[in-house]
Structure 1
Amino acid sequence: LVMKAPPRLITVTVVFAGVVSNTAAELGYVVLVPLAAMIFYGLGRHPLAGLAAAFAGVSAGYSANLLIGTVDPLLSGITEEAAKIIDPSYTVGAEANWYFMMVSTFLIAIMGALITDKIVEPKLGKYNKDEASIDLSDQSSMDPLTKQEKRGLIYAGISVLILAGILALTVVPEWGILRHPETGEVTGSPFLKGVVVYIFFFFAIPGYVYGRTVETMRTDRDVIDAMSHSMSTMGMYIVLVFFAAQFVNFFKWTNFGTIFAINGAEFLTNIGMTGPIIFLFFIMVCGFVNLMLGSASAQWAITAPIFVPMLMLIGYSPEVIQAAYRIGDSVTNIITPMMSYFGLILAVAARYKKDLGIGTLIAMMLPYSMVFFVGWSVLFFLWVFVFGFPVGPAAPTFYN
């Protein structure tokens, strides 16, 4: 997508690709950010502008996407557990914020491109390659795909179409076996409750087909080795999830969540802050906490048991609360050194400007954070409270 984009559309394409890259978790940090800097340099533009555009899309637009990605079932699971403090029967599906996040993808892409072209790149000025800490002679191009790699992509694409066809047979017809058994609807269906399984197959099968075609996966041992290598990087995450689950359940067991929620709701009612304006402060709090706790799931595991029940008690649905949280959690990712990939981005940036430090990188990314906060919040209020659109399929705005 990025390599084939016309030069005049390269900025918006880079930001857009960064936003949708979270379908593959955090791959965009590793692949797209260095690639964008390289492409901008090859076009005679400032490489740090390309890096900033990609970083803004990948990180500040992390929650937005056209598809249901890996972050959706993760956050919805935490939200559901927090909502059950107030309503034990409440369920939150992975599709809870899909509509809002789909529209947000285009907003982030447009805002990111405008900030890059109108603010960041003009301030960076003309690039001098003498500022680089590496030899940039081979940074202006990439090796083209081989015939075998192109064939692998074609076969992998065919496998995706086959999987999509099978999926469609289970949910599109009225007799689809994965529709809701009682209502016949897709909302609340076994398909959406088990969407993680579909995400697994949509990555695993095309990945194997490609690997088999390009001969990187010849035997079952190659598949196991590849999966083992991937899982070896998940140790920190598994430990994090373990303690997050304990924390949420501890809140339920001690009733701290209920106590904080009820007293907090009473306080907000007493001071008259029960209208939509409460979400502006909620987004600001989430953005501030994110400066110190960079992981989306870790932060939500700590804050959801307090804020979800509290805002439910003053009349707002968990789905809307989660959508607001995702704005605050995303927009400040790019200005905090506590974000796990900040060091990687700093290292890539230092290739093109050897004296670049943390302060310079934060200053370069600050305009994105500020504009995204304002623009995304405005979209949230217009979408939810002015036009009354649901944030996801059958997602209510209010909770009684």
Structure 2
Amino acid sequence: MSTAPNTPAKAGLTDRILNGVERAGNKLPEPFMLFVILFLITGVVSTAMAMAGVVVEVPGADEPTAIKGLFTGEGLTWLTTTLGENYIGFPPLVTVLPILLAIGIAQHSGLLGAAIRKTFGSSPAWMLPYVVGFVGVVSSIMADSAFVVVPPLAALVFKAAGRHPVAGLLGGFAAAGAGYSTNIFPTSLDALFAGITTSVMGALPGYEFTPVNPISNWFFNIVSSLILGFVAGFIIDRIIEPRLSRQGVPVDETAVDGEEPADDAQQMRAALTSVENRGLLIAVLSAVVLTALFLLAFLLPGSPWRNEDGGFLPKSPLLDSIVFIVVSYFMVLGIAYGVVTGVLRSSRDAVRMMSDALKEMLPFVVLAFILGNFIALFNWSGIGTWIAVTGANGLEATGLTGFAAILGFIVLASCLNLFIISGSGMWAIMAAVFVPMFSLIGYEPAFTQAAFRVGDSATQVITPMNPYMIVLLGMLRKYEPEAGLGTLMSRMLPFVVPFWLVWTILLAVFFFFDLPLGPGNGIFLGQ
């Protein structure tokens, strides 16, 4: 019996748009060279503006600020004498690297993986989509590892519970990606964003800002994580899984290399070993003891972590100690779990775990060299100040000074996110312009940072520029050997618009009700 040759289906409008995005995105250079080009462009533009005698009138400043050019005697001297300082002084390095060392112990000791398995395995079948949604959203605590760890685990527990494993696979990835910028816990990403925000706040000399630290968006993040986790679960339960059943997507995973996926799934739903459970128990008890010690140290009258007025807000040594507190929790809990389970037998094991974590972060450490110098040039030249003042005046002239301006900013971030997957890289570009710009129309830098979180995440689960899309495609092909990127993107699309809309509405609620974004951080300047 002869069979008709396979002919490619005619691409629909969505596929044509995504193909265009892919072609355009592939033409962008890799991040380091992208910032080298931006650095050179900024240098040329600043030199031209300096030669033209451009000055900017900063509201509240005693004198106008003159633009300084890189390719002048003054500029070249500045570059050659501050190159290393611009790199080492890049604020994210000060906060991200210590937190990363501690997360390395928590992750490589098995603590984070065991906690996820415990959460998944103890959930009833009807609740699994919502558990996957919530765990996926908060899994950014593992950084990019979340894209590799959560989806296959979610697929296994779905299968063991008699539900469609592909729904768990896709839902875990979508929740981890579309909600990547938020978490109920402070993470290294919070420290990274806060460091970049702080580094560009100097573009407006004389302005009084509330300091930005890793918990400046914490209240907003907690609410966002809970709501987005529910939204992700609802989409998995009511849209993705029923659609997979209608399409006849097979439930059984193709066995590879003699493995028995069903056995793996049952193991995932099974209880943790007694050693793993004991490790989690000791880790929880360690957290309780550590919390008690912190409360004792911080809340005592006359505590050195209080400010001069005896409080903690808006600024105090306690808020400046957030990195230390986060590092302490991850390190103590990870060590406690690793010692009990036997994974961590000596200090050498701890050093190895921290070294492995740093190895995973080396691309950022390299990228930070040009990022730090790019931001330093942006601030030193005065271009950031000029763009901020000019942009603010333009927004005021068009009447876009309220939440409409924030909406435009979120849309822009969402579009750029299709091409620039690195949240830190994109924030480094946008923060240099929009933090000062929105400050001039009355918004705190912490609020601009919160708005960026909304635009930074949702669209990254549909862009081919996301390298983890290829990893997910390999996982999907275990169930659907013929699946392609178009298949994957069409399955991700139902998550994008709801996440974007719900998160934007939530930001609007905080804006219009003037709710605090985090401890000591509001929305409007001068509060």
Report if TM-score (shorter chain) is over 0.5. Answer: yes
Query: Are residue 37 (structure 1) and residue 148 (structure 2) matched?
Result: no
Paired amino acid for 2:266: S
Match of 2:202 in 1: 84
Shift of 1:354: 1.4
Match of 1:352 in 2: 479
Shift of 1:290: 0.9
Could you tell me whether the CA contact under 8 Å between 2:141 and 2:188 is conserved in 1? Answer: yes
Paired amino acid for 1:112: A
Match of 1:117 in 2: 237
Match of 1:201 in 2: 328
Query: Are residue 331 (structure 1) and residue 331 (structure 2) matched?
Result: no
Normalising by structure 2, we get a TM-score of 0.72
1:254-265, aligned counterparts within 5 Å? 254-265=381-392
1:304-315, aligned counterparts within 5 Å? 304-315=431-442
Shift of 1:130: 6.0
Query: Are residue 55 (structure 1) and residue 173 (structure 2) matched?
Result: yes
Paired amino acid for 2:516: P
Query: Are residue 140 (structure 1) and residue 262 (structure 2) matched?
Result: no
Could you tell me whether the CA contact under 8 Å between 1:163 and 1:202 is conserved in 2? Answer: yes
RMSD between aligned residues: 1.9
Match of 2:338 in 1: 211
Query: Are residue 106 (structure 1) and residue 226 (structure 2) matched?
Result: yes
Distance 2:255 2:430 in 1: 42
1:163-312, aligned counterparts within 5 Å? 163-312=290-439
Query: Are residue 391 (structure 1) and residue 391 (structure 2) matched?
Result: no
Could you tell me whether the CA contact under 8 Å between 1:15 and 1:112 is conserved in 2? Answer: yes
Distance 1:191 1:356 in 2: 51
Cα deviation 1:50-85 (Å, max 9, x = unaligned):
112211221111122222222112111111222221
Match of 1:9 in 2: 127
Distance 1:287 1:395 in 2: 24
Match of 2:136 in 1: 18
Could you tell me whether the CA contact under 8 Å between 2:197 and 2:435 is conserved in 1? Answer: yes
Identity over aligned pairs, percent? 35
Match of 1:382 in 2: 509
Cα deviation 1:331-380 (Å, max 9, x = unaligned):
11211222243222222222222112111111111111111111111111
Paired amino acid for 2:219: Y
Distance 2:473 2:186 in 1: 29
Provide closer, same or farther for how the CA distance between residues 130 and 51 of structure 1 changes in structure 2, counting only shifts above 3 A.
Answer: closer
Which deviates the most, 168-177 or 231-240? Answer: 168-177
Shift of 1:174: 4.2
Distance 1:167 1:21 in 2: 25
Could you tell me whether the CA contact under 8 Å between 2:164 and 2:251 is conserved in 1? Answer: no
Provide closer, same or farther for how the CA distance between residues 44 and 163 of structure 1 changes in structure 2, counting only shifts above 3 A.
Answer: same
Match of 2:184 in 1: 66
Could you tell me whether the CA contact under 8 Å between 1:14 and 1:54 is conserved in 2? Answer: yes
Could you tell me whether the CA contact under 8 Å between 2:312 and 2:319 is conserved in 1? Answer: no
Shift of 1:144: 4.1
Could you tell me whether the CA contact under 8 Å between 2:371 and 2:428 is conserved in 1? Answer: yes
Could you tell me whether the CA contact under 8 Å between 2:250 and 2:479 is conserved in 1? Answer: no
Shift of 1:131: 6.8
Which deviates the most, 372-381 or 202-211? Answer: 202-211
The DSSP-based 3-state class of the residue aligned with 1:207 is helix
Distance 2:163 2:329 in 1: 36
Which deviates the most, 48-57 or 364-373? Answer: 48-57
Could you tell me whether the CA contact under 8 Å between 1:390 and 1:396 is conserved in 2? Answer: yes
Q: Which runs of 5+ in 2 are unaligned?
A: 1-118
Cα deviation 1:162-212 (Å, max 9, x = unaligned):
111112123334443322244522542222222112222211222122222
The DSSP-based 3-state class of the residue aligned with 1:19 is helix
List 4+ stretches of structure 1 deviating above 4 A.
none
Could you tell me whether the CA contact under 8 Å between 2:199 and 2:375 is conserved in 1? Answer: yes
Query: Are residue 46 (structure 1) and residue 164 (structure 2) matched?
Result: yes
The correspondence for 2:250, drawn from 128, 137, 152, is: 128
Provide closer, same or farther for how the CA distance between residues 24 and 199 of structure 1 changes in structure 2, counting only shifts above 3 A.
Answer: farther
Paired amino acid for 1:128: P
Which deviates the most, 282-291 or 336-345? Answer: 336-345
Normalising by structure 1, we get a TM-score of 0.94
Shift of 1:133: 6.5
Which deviates the most, 148-157 or 174-183? Answer: 174-183
Distance 2:458 2:213 in 1: 24
Distance 1:176 1:352 in 2: 58
Distance 2:282 2:291 in 1: 14
The DSSP-based 3-state class of the residue aligned with 2:420 is coil
Shift of 1:395: 1.6
Cα deviation 1:196-254 (Å, max 9, x = unaligned):
12222211222122222222222222222222222222211211222221111110111
Q: Which runs of 5+ in 1 are unaligned?
A: none
The DSSP-based 3-state class of the residue aligned with 2:139 is helix
Which deviates the most, 17-26 or 138-147? Answer: 138-147
